[in-house]
Structures are given as structure tokens and as C-alpha cells.
Amino acid sequence: MIEEFLNDAETRMKKSVEALREELVTLRTGRASPALVEHLMVNYYGVPTPLIQIAGITAPEPRLLVIQPWDLSALKEIERAILTSDLGLTPTTDGRVIRLAIPYLTEERRRELVKRVRQRVEACKVALRNIRRDTLEDLEEAKKEKLISEDDLYRAKDDLQELTEKYYEAAEKVGEAKEKEIMEV
């Protein structure tokens, strides 16, 4: 029973850290990466659709993204989605493809992005603490119902704390790697 609680907690913690990693991929680092725009929602025939589903996205150069819609009628909507996003990029189009030049980041913008990374890492840590709290409540409930002994409860609490610390570290490492990527010139 305790194993089930701990396995569930670990699965949820792993998903939280993975969600953080995916979220940080979308932050602009001064280097062209298709992940920067692939989750951008585009109004495609009245339906919000991720850009990756309606266009091919390539990075032919380190500071250039090329977006080639499969349906040319979506070109204007893709352009509008990029302009209204918080990416701060201006698309240029030739009627067939959209080019996004990724400018160098200023020192001020880099510091701003690092703050954002830290906020997202902290949000991930809050999620991890919530998972720990929920699992502790489940363990306490199991003890009240006499499904586990008090000794088992204390051992499970220790194991849960170790698990939480492990994923705290993982979240920190993901954040540090992204900060390093942002700050490198």
C-alpha cells in the first residue's frame, strides 16, 4: 500500500519536472529552435491549432526560423499568431514561407528571462510540495484506518521526503541549465 502511494507521488513529481522542462524549451535564448514556436496557437479555420500541426518549422541557420505552412491560406493567421505572442519577434513573409530572424538578446532581456526561469522553477517546486502534501494526507488517512502502522508511516514520510528532495534537485538542474543557456553570449 505504501509503495503505491510513493509510486504515485513519484510519477506525479516526474511529470511536474518534465512539464517544467517542456515549458522552459519555449523560452527564447537568442538561438533559433523550432520548439520556440511549435506550440503557438493559430486560428486555423476558426479552430485554435498548434503551429506544428499546420506548418513545417526548420532552423536553417543559428539565428533564423523558417515556417512553411502546408496550407498557404493559413499564412496570414500564422503571422498574426506570431505578432500577438509574447515572443517579441517580427515575421517576414514572401507569400510562401515565414522567416523569423532571432535577434541577439540584450543583457537586460537576458536577466528578465532568467527571472522568468526562476519563477517557473519555483512554481514547479510548489507543485512538488503539493504532491508531497497530498501523499502525506493519504498516508495519514491510511494510518487512521489502521491500514498501516505508525512505524510504517514514519518510514514512508522519510522516503517521501527523499523523493521530494530528489525532484527538487532535478527541477533546480533544469532551471540552472536553462539559465546558463540564456546567459551565454
Do 42 and 96 lie in one domain? The reply is yes
pLDDT for 101? 86
The whole domain housing 50 covers 34-101
Q: Which residue has the higher pLDDT, 11 or 105?
A: 11
- Mean pLDDT for 158-183 is 92
Considering its fold, how many domains does the chain have in total?
2
Do 92 and 110 lie in one domain? The reply is no
75-95: pLDDT as tens digits: 899 998 888 887 778 888 888
Do 92 and 120 lie in one domain? The reply is no
Tell me which residue has cell 512539464: 19
